């Protein structure tokens, strides 16, 4: 397993030189994850920032009634972490679970901080990654209180084009804040149009 996909990923921001690639390779850990395996559970500290090479994950919370609420999905060439827990080192209120068998690259906090201190390029790249995720979150919050369920579904299809066919209805419905039955009705109505 190599970090080539991660090296390619950084090219869309600030490409890494050979020394930076060596620094990264020394600090990143590859893992294979089984379907339904957790890489974070509620009550534990998020110890890794995770890059998805292959596969798909969901990050979710569970309310007092035991209902899952999907906050985000992360598939190929995307990052996933509970950043609040990662940086504060406080127990997470979230779960991160593999929806598919996956291959990931993980970096621990002290190793990420080392990269930030030893190459401004890493600091800049990760800042842009976090800013992009923040923009996605703002957009999603705005959609939740200003869009109807059908519009939220259309926005989901736009944001997660490739994932729409890989995810079960129950996962998409949880993300949209609707029941799987209502999602089926929206899909049916869209095919009749």
Contact 101, 95 (CB under 8 A): no
With cut-offs at 50, 70 and 90, classify the pLDDT of residue 69.
Answer: very high
- On whether the CB atoms of residues 30 and 48 are closer than 8 A, the answer is no
Q: How far is CA 78 from CA 34, 52, 53, 84, 184, in A?
A: 18, 6, 8, 18, 28
For residue 146, the model assigns a pLDDT of 86
**Is residue 158 over pLDDT 90?**
no
Residue carrying structure tokens 């850990």 = 29
Q: How confident is the model at residue 188 (pLDDT cuts 50, 70, 90)?
A: confident
Q: Are 155 and 143 in contact (CB under 8 A)?
A: yes
The overall average pLDDT reported for the chain is 92
Q: Tell whether the model's pLDDT for residue 161 goes beyond 90.
A: no
- This prediction has a pTM of 0.90
pLDDT at residue number 193: 65
How confident is the model over 21-44, as pLDDT tens digits?
Answer: 999 999 999 999 999 999 999 999
Task: Name the residue among 119, 32, 130, 34 with its Cα closest to residue 80.
Answer: 130
Token code pair at residue 106: 């993980």
Specify the pLDDT at position 1.
53
Give the homologous superfamily in CATH for domain 4-119.
Jelly Rolls (2.60.120.10)
Ranges of each domain in the chain: 4-119
């Amino acid at each position: 397993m190599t970090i080539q996909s991660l090296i390619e990923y950084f090219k869309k921001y600030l490409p890494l030189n050979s020394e930076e690639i060596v620094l990264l390779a020394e600090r990143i850990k590859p893992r294979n994850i089984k379907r339904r395996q957790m890489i974070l559970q509620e009550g534990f500290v998020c110890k890794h920032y995770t890059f998805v090479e292959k596969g798909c994950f969901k990050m979710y919370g569970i309310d007092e009634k035991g209902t899952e609420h999907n906050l985000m999905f992360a598939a190929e060439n995307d990052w996933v972490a509970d950043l609040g827990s990662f940086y504060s080192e406080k127990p997470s209120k979230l779960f991160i679970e593999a929806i598919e068998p996956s291959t990931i690259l993980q970096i621990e906090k002290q190793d990420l901080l080392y990269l930030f201190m030893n190459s401004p390029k890493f600091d800049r790249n990760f800042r842009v990654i976090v800013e992009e995720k923040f923009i996605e979150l703002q957009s999603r919050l705005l959609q939740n209180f200003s869009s109807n369920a059908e519009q939220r579904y259309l926005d989901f299809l736009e944001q997660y084009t490739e994932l729409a066919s890989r995810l079960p209805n129950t996962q998409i419905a949880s993300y949209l804040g609707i029941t799987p039955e209502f999602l089926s009705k929206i899909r049916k109505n869209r095919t009749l149009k």
